[in-house]
Each structure stands twice: as C-alpha cells, then as structure tokens.
Structure 1
C-alpha cells in the first residue's frame, strides 16, 4: 500500500477597500514621493516610476529576483531612510498583461515584505506610456 499527499493550494490574503461612500473620508493620503507605481505591460515586462507620472523617468524591467525584486528592495530601503515611513506601491495591470504577471507581482510584494500596496485601474496616459515603451502589444 502506498500513500501520498497532494499539493495544498497556497493563497494570499488580499484586503479590498469598502465600496461604501461614507468610508472614503477614512482614507489616508500618501505622499507621491514615497509611492512607487508599477504598470504591467505585455511580453512579461513592466514599467515603474517613483512619484507622480511624468515627473520622473520610467524604467522598464522584467519580473524576478534580478529585476523588479531588486528594485522593490532598493526603493523601499531608500524611502524608509529618507522619510522614516514605508513605501506604498500602486499596481496597475493593463489589458495586455496576463494573469501570471499579476500573480508574479503579488508574489514579489510578499517576498520583499511590502506591506502597503493597492491594485487600481490603469489610465489612458499610462497606456500611452506603455505603448511608447513598446510593452503594450
């Protein structure tokens, strides 16, 4: 007789904001200088920038330990040293990114111990930026 166990599914807790209008006043403002925005594009590429769009040069990278993971760790440390507060990450998937990319970036949030992040819709100017970088195909 032979026995075995199957792989147990792994799940990540994801807290979603309350859609109630009265709770919008409870939201805290986060300074743009300690915010990193990640735009998920096509071909397993992403673009990121710190601060407000158009005010800092965007960088195109891939996923993995030598790309976005290294960037998240470095930027998190710089922001913590400069402001004494944690970095906030905004994740914006495009309609050209794949589900795996979303899972990968959420894994990177967990691996790099980024506690504050949000997933929001991408805007048209950001899609235009992805097109300019040729990662929206």
Structure 2
C-alpha cells in the first residue's frame, strides 16, 4: 500500500521549555489511484481502434508457362507502355510489336503522366468519367460502397479500354515505382501490369538523345 507521511516530525522538546501540541500523522492512501490508472489503461486499450495497414494490389508477371494459343492478346490500339528511367523521367509509347508509335518523354507531375493517362483513358472508354460521378454519390451517401465498387470495376474492365504495361530499368528509383502506382490509382486505371523490361526498350532508352543522362 502506498502512503504519504505528512507528519511534522522533529525532536522532543528540551527540558524546561513549554511543550507544544503534538501533531498527528496524516496518511494518504494512493492505492485507489493506482487501480484507477490501470482501469483507464485497460479502457483505452479496449476502446481504441488499431490502425490497419493499407495494402496496394499489384499485378506482377507470372512465371507459369502458358501455351501460345492461350495467351491473352493485347490490341495495339489499347496498349500503352510506360518505361521508368533515371532522373525521374518517363518514356512512354503506344502500340505493341511492330505497331509501335514514336516514344515520348514526360515526368510525374499532374500535367505530365497523369494528364496523359486521363486523356488516353477517356479516348478509349466513353464511360470513364462516370467513375468520378459514382465516387461523389458514394461520398455523399447516395449509394452504398458495394455499388460504387461494382460500377467502378465494371467501367475499368471495359473491353476496349486502355491497357498499361509498366517497365523499369536499373536506373529508376523505388520512389518512381511507387509514384507510378499512385498515378494508376488517382487516374482510376485498373488494367495495368508490371512486366520485365525488354532489350528493345533498353535500347530505346539508351539511344534517346532527349533523356537526361
């Protein structure tokens, strides 16, 4: 039991001097305060909601061998390749195989890759802007979260929509990889995949005179 002794103390009065009144010892029992402290700690532990880590869904290459006749073919008109390079630069081009357009260079700013992604998604998907409409309805409580997610996935899965291939060379930083995934989320592009960079892409980067070396 924890006590506080607040007695006056002092030595006994000397002989021949007037005796003073004896002070009584005051004891304060601190045990209830300790119990209260543990009760408060227990209360906050049980009522506080723990923060949940947010995981980002990433589509990565699958090493499983798939027969050529079962491979998913991407139309050249749908494909967009994003190459992450050094100096916080992005090289991008449209098309696949021999139907590749002239590569362009941009950055991670709102007027850079974000604007390009939004423009291209709208061009290929007429209902792309409806995602923002459903999102506002969900935030205002007009529709449920389940209905919002269902409509968003339906629009993102449009068969003729934009398909993005993300590749990175050894000069790109981890921050660049995180930034481009954030742009996929911001621009509501759900059809993207992270694939290995091809030798032809590396040559395209090395021979581009407009890139910062």
Figure out how many residues of one structure are paired with residues of the other and give that number.
Answer: 135
Q: CA RMSD in A?
A: 2.9
Q: Equivalent residue for 1:35?
A: 79
Q: Is the 8 A contact 1:41 1:136 kept in 2?
A: no
Match of 1:106 among 181, 186, 193: 181
Q: Which has the larger radius of gyration?
A: 2
Distance change (3 Å), C-alpha of 1:15 and 1:36:
closer
> Within 5 A, what are the aligned runs for 1:13-32?
13-16=57-60, 18-21=62-65, 26-32=70-76
Q: Equivalent residue for 2:124?
A: 79
1:135, 1:6 → 2: CA distance?
46
Alpha-carbon shift at residue 58 of structure 1 (Å): 1.0
- Could you say which structure has the greater relative contact order, defined with CA pairs below 8 angstroms and 6 or more residues apart? 1
Q: Equivalent residue for 1:62?
A: 107
**3-state SS, counterpart of residue 19 of structure 1:** coil
CA deviation profile, 1:88-127 (whole Å, cap 9, x unmatched): 0000111110100001001111111111111111112211
Unaligned segments of structure 2, at least 5 residues:
1-43, 127-157
1:23, 1:53 → 2: CA distance?
19
**TM-score, with length taken from structure 1:** 0.81
Q: Equivalent residue for 2:36?
A: none
Alpha-carbon shift at residue 32 of structure 1 (Å): 1.4
